[in-house]
Structure 1
Amino acid sequence: MFTQSNTIAGLSICLAAGFLLSILSCALYGNWWPLLVVFTYALAPLPNAIFGRYVTSDPLADVSSSVADFGRFMTAVLVISGFGLPVVLSHAGIITSMAMYMSIIGGVLVYGTIIVYSTLFREQQDF
C-alpha cells in the first residue's frame, strides 16, 4: 500500500510544513527571533553524525563509548533547545504566544520527519 516514493513524498510535505510554520512564526508577527530555532534543526543531527562512528557494532559488548554518548548528549541538548527557545522567548515577551506555538509545532514536524525517515530507511544489517 505504501511505497517508498509515497513515503518520501509524505515526509517531504511534513518537512516543508514544519519549515513553513517556523518561518511564518517570524514573518506574521514581524519578529525574526524564532528563526534561531531553524539553526537547531540543522545542527541537531551533526553530533550523532560526527561521533556516531565510535559506536561498537557488537550488540553483546558491554563497552560503552563515552565519545558516542557525548554525541548523543549534544544532540539531545540541541533538540531540547529547539523546543525550549521559543518558550523562553515568549516568556520574556520577545515573541508572541502564537509565534511560540507555531514554532514548536514546526519543530515537532521537522524533528518527527527526521526520526521517521531515519527509522524507516535504516540499512538492514545481515548477521
Structure 2
Amino acid sequence: MRASSIVALSVCLAAGFLLSILSCALYGNWWPLLVVFTYALAPAPNAIFGQYVSSDPLADVSSSVADFGRFLTAVLVVSGFGLPVVLAHAGIIAPTAMAMSIVGGILVYGTIIAYSALFRERTDF
C-alpha cells in the first residue's frame, strides 16, 4: 500500500507543479511563478515550530510559538491562493493562468496534506 500511495502522491505533486509552470510559460508572463515559492515555504513554519507542541494529548497548554508557526503557515497558504487572484484582477496575468495556478496549488497543498496524513506515525497505548 505504501508504494502505490507514494506513486500517486508524486504524480499529483508533479501535476501541480506542471500546472503552475504552464500557467507562466503558456502566457509568457512569469509572475505566477511567485506562487511556487509559497508552495515550498508553506510547510516550513510547521516543521520549525512544531517541536514546541506538547506531546501530551490531555495537556491544555498551548504554546504561543507553535501557534505563531501555524499562523505563518496559514498566511503562506492563503497568499498562495490569493496572489493569482490579485494578479488576474489587476490585469497582470490572464484569468486562465490564474485558474491553472490555483488548481496547481490545490494539487500541491492537497499532496502535502495527504502525505502527512498517510505517513503520520500512529502510537498505540
TM bracket, shorter-chain basis: over 0.9
Question: Any gaps of 5 or more consecutive residues in structure 2?
Answer: none
Q: What is the aligned partner in structure 2 of residue 47 from structure 1? A: 45
Under a length normalisation based on structure 1, what TM-score does the superposition of the two structures give? Answer: 0.97
Q: Which residue number in structure 1 is paired with residue 63 of structure 2?
A: 65
Residue 86 of structure 1: aligned partner: 84
TM-score (norm 2): 0.98
The superposition leaves residues 54-103 of structure 1 with CA deviations (integer Å, 9 ceiling, x where unpaired) of 00011111111000000001000000000000000000000000000000
Out of 6, 9, 12, the residue aligned to residue 11 of structure 1 is: 9
Quick one: which of 96, 99, 110 aligns to 1:98? 96
For 1:115, the aligned partner's letter is: I
**CA apart distance, 1:126:** 3.4
2:18: which partner in 1?
A: 20
Partner of 1:119: 117
CA displacement at 1:46 relative to structure 2: 0.5
Q: RMSD over aligned Cα, in angstroms?
A: 0.6
1:17-61 Cα shifts (integer Å, max 9, x gaps): 000000000000000000000000000000001100000011111
Correspondent of 2:32 among 34, 39, 52 = 34
Q: Matched residues in 2 for 1:87 and 1:39: separation?
A: 16
